[in-house]
Structure 1
């Protein structure tokens, strides 16, 4: 049953007509190029037919990927390769959450609907930037401990006058499109489990499709469909089989159980559905990808046996019933965090003289896959980055041809491979242009080492990997925009960036590709050859994908700005090399002839290390290092070097007093997102972690390596 909303659990704001949250209003519309489309329909008419025929109202962006195909291609061409150089800022809005901003705004009948970190939703006038309403679901900040990769949200969905948000703490909430007031709310997760939601929901035929996050903790993954009008659960499909001594939910689970060994169900098995969902209106299928196995280490998870369905798989279900249709397992028995949740893009491609209805994915594991979306049969696959874990894909079986040394669960030895768990391509959305035939991938190369964690014990809080891993310190990292030819499975062109973890992409009929970067800018390139046409300094990193829309015949490009996510949280030293200097979250909107200006950056406080002297024994410091790596590094950075999203603990004022213990063990800063770790740490453990942080601070102070 839908849960009842109380005044303590929601906060919404509807400003007076003339009250704006903007720092800058739009420049005069007469300075922009006027385009010919003027069609408008009521927001209440957002439904399957309208999304299927989205090109009839090209000024809208109705769902996460603009259309059900998830191509992120817009037919708008008022901004094009001839006038992109004249783009300027039309308006911007400051956000109250300086965290990772990963969302894609929706544009419906001249309004923008945006989700930000902590699952806050805002509606703006797309032309002027006036704030129409804001809704804060008041996610408990202590819930942050259950999120692997920042308190992010990737977007909202729209249907029949409602805006849907999946909140970080597991609620699916329907908001009134006009006021932002809740219509209904349902809890989609076990409130006692370390589950979160970061995904943008999808809606079709009156059903809201949604997965779940948390496969590094102890969960059993699933995806679900909810009634769009009431929130009632319609169906649920688990991605991992449960206890085999009990009846299976369906034949698919019975089949999957035969690919497991041991007692995987006691920790859940993983397989979270934390990003990609794609609806096929022609076949009435819903496609989704699944995440890593739990634990990562195959020997611990399943005694080193079996493919472990449906870990790291692409699955098709009947959208009306949730009935299994087909699956393709991208990385059988995976143990490298090679999720298959990256964008699932539909297209009709002419391959070997035959038009094929395909599903495309640039997977974390470094291979680009083209599947028949009716049958799941592999059509082609090729590596889109240099990689060392597999020689290729066996086209007869569809399985990777693994290099034998990569199975650290079998060798018992540490191995460094490319790509690592952040992938050759992660959640940052790619786009496809039917005009060029290219897919535009935010590509990265981040080598990683893996090995068995010989001291592993399952924990009730924090990650459960059974794997010792981290970024390889001796190998370079790379990031670049890559145009990929999916028919011939080869690169067409690339544009190098300073480092990895750059923004998603947008392709348009104006022969343009837009992408923001971790260096703090947004760019426009020619879609056919990659020539840079425009750059704008955004003052902070861009990891979200841009989108485009039109109001009164004027085309705009919008993007969320804000640094965060897994890479800067875990790998401070490496992530800072991508160029990010500040973290200022905003929604920024551009148009041809835009003249608005960002305010100057405020002065940045100097980062100073002034730790107390070291007094702990080497044994205590070593114990603290192991505990820090297990429980703290995923948010505060390897080696205690922050990626500027969370505080750098080397400079913490709490190193000098016992407030440190109140924070770690009593939740003294839980309202700021730092939960208590009393479930897994005692006073001596907390003291050892502090000793290690003090040690690292003193070492870096003495060597002059204090920079963040």
Structure 2
């Protein structure tokens, strides 16, 4: 269903001129430049990460003729979040477990593949699946960050490993075993390969590192939050952390053991216009602001965009979108730059739609707040200060200070998560994969550190019922700060956006379909059944005059893992991970979809209620991130309710306590949980399985 508001469009004269890369030309649309390369040589498609391509062969008139040109099956059926790149007719795509594939972009013929052999027992380090969002290309090399924290350079012709470095320094550990992981795409600036990391939910301190693209030598490192003792890290961030960030924190034991957070797990942008690198900083660790900082200070640079110099990492400016973060409102979502009119003059600006539900326009050179407005319903703030952009908190939102349990819009999954938004310099609209997933936060009053477990400082985060969960594509006018139109979807957790010079908007959805929409009004022009949920983002390229559109398919990430099985058809058909490529002419087809036999298996009828009650908190701390709030993993991982190991306490302990399935991503937890605690978790799962069994048609 589409809700439309009037939209105008004016065609601008295109004047091409050669740019700074041999494969790049520029088209100017009333002062707005965008590359017209037939390749898609970087993560965001152009230098400004607009996820825009000027290719215009596919239009409103012919999009309905799109066909599958070729497809490639991945060797894992976990979630896929990658955006492929195409350079000189070769496609480089990353898959789950940080694997890389080089394919002939016109035919899909496999040229080479690379497996970094990420150990299965590192899966617990990630909050949100062992995904990978993409690779980078520079001077004949492909760069990929691996889930276990390495940055690897590969020869683009052969896939041979040129160098590999560990991006996690010993001095970041601060005396505790942290949960660092890397799943974001590297970025290139002045020959430096820049990469961040994730892990704040399990305990981490954020930083960004830059390595020499030729040798892998560390060039600079910028920490995003100070260490608890205000000591020097011998990093470029030392002066600004001491002078500016440290006074916005208050030392606590929780901060000391959990690192403070601020991981940069996704958005990094190098902007050639300003010659600055923009870093999107994540949430606090623990989430609980009272425990983390005694309820004092804004906690810089959590929930911020930080601008640094590409050669040295030297701080230039910052803008904090969510001070006092206690909701997991990261600023790691797509950072996009564009030229737009502000108060009668064209300015180079940052456009940003972070988790917190507000859309920001910021001066890209200075960090000055220009305008902002909520793009979805929010109740944590009544608005933004018109001069500073600081949120105007509602009293109940500060739940860690009030002690009241509060249902927040948005919840921890945000109004916009990792799938990139797109911006068209033709329509001057931003297209946001928005959602509503409210949650009720329950603050924990007693702190304890959980190695290999989540460390939120909360008694729990209670998700809303399914009726309150929604998803849309919102076309947003950043100058007027208003919605132009929206496309309603059946639920949240949909894929990212691509917009083209043909005024076509491409998106994959969580319901397992891939679409082409009219970018002017949201009309659905084309739909394809992809046989699995889509959370990745499309890209486009042209070879021999043919425009192709590619999308990775594979259901996964936080939403299906944590919230279980809201899309019931995906839990019965299974997850299929593929790369699909479309064109106006094509004769490929997917294999017939055979349903998986995932019929419920009757669990043990008896369980110990008291033990199940004891096991529930440990399940929430150590298991819920992968196996779901309701012990369902949404079709991504095996459903624990029907596991044969439930009927055998020894077999269950061998898997959970001793790591019998480590190679498949299930680490051992016997080092942090006693055998009795693991047995209590088994009793809790049996209890949940029986509740589900009696609700199924097979459970009579």
Q: Structure 2 length normalisation: TM-score?
A: 0.92
Residue equivalent to 1:13: none
Residue equivalent to 2:586: 594
- Which of 477, 492, 497 is the equivalent residue of 1:500? 492
Secondary structure in 2 matching 1:360: strand
Map 1:289-688 to 2 at 5 A.
289-467=280-458, 468-473=460-465, 476-574=468-566, 576=568, 581-616=573-608, 618-657=609-648, 658-688=650-680
Q: Distance in 2 between matches of 1:703 and 1:514?
A: 38
Return the offset for 1:522: 0.7
Secondary structure in 1 matching 2:194: strand
Secondary structure in 2 matching 1:569: helix
Return the offset for 1:579: 9.6
Return the offset for 1:596: 1.1
Return the offset for 1:475: 5.2
Of 56-65 and 265-274, deviating more is: 56-65
- Which of 221, 227, 248 is the equivalent residue of 1:259? 248
Residue equivalent to 1:240: 225
Q: Distance in 2 between matches of 1:231 and 1:166?
A: 12
Residue equivalent to 1:700: 692
| Count of residues in correspondence between the two structures | 663
- Which of 147, 150, 160 is the equivalent residue of 1:181? 160
Q: State whether residues 51 and 68 of structure 1, in contact with CA within 8 Å, keep that contact through their aligned partners in structure 2.
A: no
1:284 equivalent to 2:266? Answer no
Residue equivalent to 1:89: 68
Q: State whether residues 538 and 561 of structure 1, in contact with CA within 8 Å, keep that contact through their aligned partners in structure 2.
A: yes
Residue equivalent to 2:5: none
1:226 equivalent to 2:211? Answer yes
Q: Distance in 2 between matches of 1:56 and 1:494?
A: 27
Return the offset for 1:47: 8.3
Map 1:163-202 to 2 at 5 A.
163-190=142-169, 193-202=178-187
- Which of 40, 50, 68 is the equivalent residue of 2:47? 68
Return the offset for 1:576: 4.6
Residue equivalent to 1:209: 194
- Which of 147, 152, 155 is the equivalent residue of 2:131? 152
Residue equivalent to 2:99: 120
Q: CA 1:706 to 1:80, structure 2 compared with 1: closer, same or farther past 3 Å?
A: farther
Q: Distance in 2 between matches of 1:502 and 1:396?
A: 34
Q: State whether residues 149 and 569 of structure 1, in contact with CA within 8 Å, keep that contact through their aligned partners in structure 2.
A: yes
Residue equivalent to 1:6: none
Return the offset for 1:460: 1.7
Q: CA 1:697 to 1:580, structure 2 compared with 1: closer, same or farther past 3 Å?
A: closer
Return the offset for 1:635: 0.6
Return the offset for 1:253: 0.6
Residue equivalent to 1:31: none
Q: Distance in 1 between matches of 2:164 and 2:232?
A: 31
Return the offset for 1:204: 2.1
| Unpaired stretches in structure 2, ≥5 consecutive residues | 1-15, 28-33, 171-176
Secondary structure in 2 matching 1:257: helix
Q: Distance in 1 between matches of 2:570 and 2:472?
A: 11
Secondary structure in 2 matching 1:638: coil
Q: State whether residues 48 and 205 of structure 1, in contact with CA within 8 Å, keep that contact through their aligned partners in structure 2.
A: no
Q: Distance in 2 between matches of 1:319 and 1:259?
A: 26
Q: Distance in 2 between matches of 1:61 and 1:279?
A: 16
Q: State whether residues 91 and 596 of structure 1, in contact with CA within 8 Å, keep that contact through their aligned partners in structure 2.
A: yes
| Unpaired stretches in structure 1, ≥5 consecutive residues | 1-38
Q: Distance in 2 between matches of 1:61 and 1:610?
A: 50
Q: CA 1:309 to 1:625, structure 2 compared with 1: closer, same or farther past 3 Å?
A: same
Return the offset for 1:705: 7.6
Return the offset for 1:609: 3.2
Once the two structures are superposed, residues 519-561 of structure 1 have per-residue CA deviations (whole angstroms, 9 ceiling, x without a partner) of 1111001111111111111111111110000111111000000
Q: State whether residues 665 and 676 of structure 1, in contact with CA within 8 Å, keep that contact through their aligned partners in structure 2.
A: yes
Q: State whether residues 515 and 522 of structure 1, in contact with CA within 8 Å, keep that contact through their aligned partners in structure 2.
A: yes
Secondary structure in 1 matching 2:414: coil
Q: State whether residues 276 and 342 of structure 1, in contact with CA within 8 Å, keep that contact through their aligned partners in structure 2.
A: yes
Q: CA 1:355 to 1:49, structure 2 compared with 1: closer, same or farther past 3 Å?
A: farther
Q: CA 1:176 to 1:706, structure 2 compared with 1: closer, same or farther past 3 Å?
A: farther
Q: State whether residues 35 and 54 of structure 2, in contact with CA within 8 Å, keep that contact through their aligned partners in structure 1.
A: no
Q: Distance in 2 between matches of 1:604 and 1:333?
A: 46
Q: State whether residues 499 and 577 of structure 1, in contact with CA within 8 Å, keep that contact through their aligned partners in structure 2.
A: no
Return the offset for 1:50: 5.3
Q: Structure 1 length normalisation: TM-score?
A: 0.91
Return the offset for 1:570: 0.2
Secondary structure in 1 matching 2:285: coil
Q: State whether residues 47 and 160 of structure 1, in contact with CA within 8 Å, keep that contact through their aligned partners in structure 2.
A: no
The root-mean-square deviation of aligned C-alpha atoms, in Å, is 2.0
Secondary structure in 1 matching 2:91: strand
Secondary structure in 2 matching 1:663: helix
Q: Distance in 1 between matches of 2:480 and 2:157?
A: 47
Q: Distance in 1 between matches of 2:102 and 2:565?
A: 36
